[in-house]
Amino acid sequence: MMVGAFVGALVVLATSTLFSWPLGGLSAAASNVAFEAPDGSCLMWTDGNDMNKVDCSASHLFEIAGTVDLAASYPADAPFPDGTLWQKIVQDNCTGVTARFMSNKLDPYGRYHTGALKPKDQQWAAGSRSMRCGLQVIGPGGKLLPATGSATTGDQSAVYDVGTCLGIDGKSVSDPVPCDNAHAYEIVGIVDLKPLFPDGYPDQGKQDAALSPACGKAATDYTKGYDLTKNGLGVTWDVVHQESWAIGSMKVNCKVGQKLPDGSGLQKIINSVKGVGPQLVPSSTQAAPSSNPQDSH
């Protein structure tokens, strides 16, 4: 088995998903929910634009950090901003709001990202200049993903649940998909580095040395001893940045995937590798076949 053949970083794309409003902006009813909820509230909505305030322990798409009034910079005759300008508006006005909400402990590489709920064009034309700043989870391809628990108290480690498959867009990692769809990675484990390095932040070399056997074992357990090299696959992992470690984000994913032979991107994988290894049979009926354990150096 190829262990540590490559180390993949999950890159969040800086696209229009800096904003977390439902497609087309907020409806009047949804706008009322978004702007009447107090700071610290969590919001959930559907594709149909139906927004509700929910307890932050429940699945949600947005946690409100504060409100910004843009009237001083965008008077009544100001045209409705395009997507690029909205990105700048959010970055310029909401970054500080979410940092304060998180007591200046927002992991720059973690699972939460700054976003905003904005007025739609008709509301803008009618004079609305209020914007709710908040936190959200964004997939590698830009899709909003549900979160549970408040960002202020939760682990900010950028990890996915074991069994999650991350899609592939061209040759790059995209958002979670069912594992029978084409995907780039399958998450086979989560490793907490803190117990392995109790004395402080380990550099990447030390992380790799610890994660190679840990993720090899995770893959072996997940696949039930399947030799991934038979399908040209390998085990890799993410690493923790020092800024993340200082904030308390110390968990990483182990994952199965493989680069293209020319190194230009990632291969497409179809179907899950979960439990595909040798299946043992009761000794009373048949001797168990010898398994081919993976090399987890």
Domain-wise residue ranges, the chain:
16-145, 157-257
Give the other-Cβ count within 10 Å of 161's Cβ: 9
Instruction: Give strand pairing partners of 166.
Output: 176, 185
pLDDT for the residue numbered 294: 31
Q: Within 13 A of 280's CA, how many CA atoms are on the CB side?
A: 9
Q: 17-44 in b/e burial notation, b at 16+ Cβ within 10 A?
A: bbbbbbeebbbeebbebbbebeeebbbb
pLDDT for the residue numbered 120: 83
User: Rounded to whole angstroms, how far apart are CA atoms 42 and 64?
Assistant: 6
Give the other-Cβ count within 10 Å of 262's Cβ: 7
> Please, what are the averages of pLDDT over each run of 10 residues along the chain (297 residues)?
31 35 56 85 81 94 96 95 92 96 97 92 91 95 94 97 97 96 98 98 97 97 94 95 97 96 94 84 36 29
Question: What's the whole-model pTM score?
Answer: 0.83
Unique residue bearing structure tokens 């040798």: 278
User: Rounded to whole angstroms, how far apart are CA atoms 189 and 260?
Assistant: 23
Q: What are the φ and ψ backbone dihedral angles of 91, each rounded to 5 degrees?
A: -60, -40
Give the other-Cβ count within 10 Å of 96's Cβ: 15
